[in-house]
Chains A and B, each alone.
Chain A
Amino acid sequence: MSRWVSFGCAILLLSLFLHASFSALEYQWNWESALRYKKKFADGWIATLWISALSLFFAFLIGSLVTLCNRVRFLPVRYLSMIYVELTRGTPLLVQIFFFFYVVADAAGIQNRYVVGIAIMAIFSGAYISEILRAGIEGVGESQLLSAKAIGFTEYQTFRYVILPQALRSSLPALAGQTANLIKDSSLLSVIAISEFTLNAQEVNAITYSSFESFFPLAFGYLILTLPIMRLSRSIENRLRFET
């Protein structure tokens, strides 16, 4: 009970702060005109959901592949995956979006901007996912590997039955966090005119001459997606802590 009261207090404080800020601004709310475009919000939100889900799927494929490439004995492959991870994590997503859209996609003759957008998000997130998986794999203790060796497992069996299940488990919280990031980061795809949630909100913004009447629903729409994922990540983390 007291938890809910405390939570309510926190929300109240936050609301007061927002209210004070907007009052000082003498902001004229005009929800009516913005709400007339609720279908546009809904369409954008669903587009973001699809783009995120597909990107996430391919990001996992890329991330896993790169993690495997990191373990390959052939050095050029290893360097290639290392360069990919460092470049992707070290440069702004915005630059990558422009580069892939105007240079790579154009050269490859890909017309569909949604395909390009999903590819960009998958490549971007794949680098982070591969790092998360790598950390998970390296976190599997030496004693586990010794045990697998003593049992007579092959390298493949060791990976399949000993390393992978433990690495995935310990990576789960970070992977959930990365999923939330991917959803938020996909908002940048609005710069290449992909009609997802953020772009649609911006359009409503422009049509109705409102600003926060479209930005607040935008933030809320992302929260609906990211909050459950972050809660999930937290609860997995807690459960893992009790298990070990």
Chain B
Amino acid sequence: MKLELESVVKTYGTQRALDSLDLTIEDTMCIALIGPSGGGKSTTLRLLAGLESPTSGTIRIDGNEIAHEYWQLREYRQRVGVVFQAFNLFPHFDAITNIALPLEKVHGYSRGKSLEKAGMLLDQFQLTNHRFKKPAELSGGQSQRVAIARAIAPDPDIVFLDEPTSALDPEMTAEVLEAIETLIESKKKLLIATHQMGFAKHAADTVAIIAEGKLVEVGNSSQVIDYPRTARAQKFLKAYLKF
């Protein structure tokens, strides 16, 4: 996939979350956005996923500019999947309905077909026994795998994952990262905002470091993480290695 962000600004009130961000990434299957919290990773991801519109600047994915107009934006959102840090499953539906309902209501599947597909995905993520459980009865790792299944169910062009393991303990983190790896193996295009440096290094092709609302560094993942060129990137990565 190809991402192009040109002087993208996003402000919330007086706060500048993105301060004229320029970023171009080409020919890549899996991109990791890393950087300090509050630095602009999540904002970048939300703009790319079409959940919010930039205050100014343009964003193109595979050459197409993301629209601002409501219907076009909604149509775009239907073609991408999003996984959130806090899972954001619907608490009043069981696992299988969480996955099947969007297929039926948004993507025009019949009820039977949507349940069949949701069931297959639950099997794929080893959640067969949890299909009729409500989110409150699932562990964090299980919830996040259901959320991943929900995001990939309509075969989206790209899946955006916003710090998918930040709310999980190490064991559940491993569970979820394994699920994400299976997506990479199946050649799904992914963009993941994460604090898991090890995962970013071995799973992503390209890493972009974003801090203070600007791009710090972008490039091949092991190169950027092992041999950062800029002082800001070195400072950020050193903090990770220290503890």
A interface list, Cβ under 8 A from B: 143-144, 146-147, 149-154, 157, 161-162, 165-166, 169, 243-244
A-B interface contact total, Cβ < 8 Å? 52
Q: A143-B84, A144-B90 are in contact. Are A161 and B78 (CB under 8 A)?
A: no
Q: Is B91 an interface residue (CB 8 A)?
A: yes
Annotate B51-81 by CB proximity to A: 1 below 8 A, 0 otherwise: 1000000000000000000000011011001
In the assembled complex, B174 has its CB within 8 A of some CB on chain A:
no
| Cα A175 to Cα B62 with chains together (Å) | 51
Give the residue of B84, B88, B89, B102 whose beta carbon is less than 8 angstroms from that of A152.
B102
Query: 29 A–B contact pairs at CB < 8 A?
Result: A143-B86, A144-B88, A146-B84, A146-B88, A147-B84, A147-B88, A147-B89, A149-B51, A149-B77, A150-B82, A150-B84, A150-B151, A151-B77, A151-B106, A152-B75, A152-B77, A152-B78, A154-B74, A157-B105, A157-B106, A161-B105, A162-B90, A165-B92, A166-B90, A166-B91, A166-B92, A169-B92, A243-B91, A243-B134
Given contacts A144-B90, A146-B84, A150-B82, contact A243 B77 (CB under 8 A): no
Q: Tell me if B91 and A244 are in contact (CB < 8 A).
A: yes
A146 to B49, CA, bound (A): 11
Q: How far apart sit A161 and B106, CA to CA, in the bound complex (Å)?
A: 12
Docked Cα-Cα span, A64 to B77, in Å, equals 31
Q: Is A153 within 8 A of B88, CB to CB?
A: no
Closest chain-A Cβ to B103's Cβ sits at a distance in Å of 10
Which residues on the B side are within 8 Å of A169 (C-beta)?
A: 92
Could you tell me if B90 and A243 are in contact, using CB atoms closer than 8 angstroms?
no
In the complex, which residues of chain A have a beta carbon less than 8 angstroms from the beta carbon of B151? 150
Contact of B101 with A by CB under 8 A: yes
Chain A contacts for B106, CB-based, 8 A:
151-153, 157
Query: Which 8 residue pairs spanning A and B have beta carbons closest together?
Result: A152-B78, A147-B88, A150-B82, A151-B102, A152-B106, A152-B77, A165-B92, A143-B88
Nearest Cβ on chain A to B213's Cβ, whole angstroms = 21
Instruction: Considering the complex, give the chain B residue whose CB is closest to the CB of A154.
Output: B74
Q: Does B138 contact A (CB under 8 A)?
A: no
Most buried by B among A147, A154, A166, A169: A147
User: Chain A residues with Cβ under 8 A from B74's Cβ?
Assistant: 152, 154
A143-B88, A147-B90, A151-B106 as given contacts; A244 in contact with B49, CB under 8 Å: no
Given A146-B88, A150-B151, A151-B77: 11 more A-B contacts, CB < 8 Å: A143-B88, A147-B89, A150-B49, A151-B102, A151-B150, A152-B75, A152-B77, A152-B106, A153-B106, A162-B90, A243-B134
Closest residue of chain A to B76 (Cβ to Cβ) is: A152
Q: Which of B51, B81, B89 contacts A146 (CB 8 A)?
A: B51
Q: List B contacts of A243 (CB < 8 A).
A: 91, 134, 136
CA distance A243 to B92 in the complex (A): 9
Residues of B within 8 A of A244 (CB): 91, 136
CA distance A132 to B20 in the complex (A): 44
CB distance from A203 to the nearest CB of B (A): 49
Q: Which of B208-233 contact A (CB under 8 A)?
A: none
In the complex, chain A residues whose CB is within 8 Å of the CB of B90: 144, 147, 161-162, 166
**How many angstroms from the CA of A144 to the CA of B101 in the assembled complex?**
15
Q: A153–B102 contact, CB under 8 A? A: yes
Q: How far is the CB of B83 from chain A (nearest CB, A)?
A: 9
Which residue of B is nearest A150, CB measured?
B82
B108–chain A nearest beta-carbon distance, Å: 11
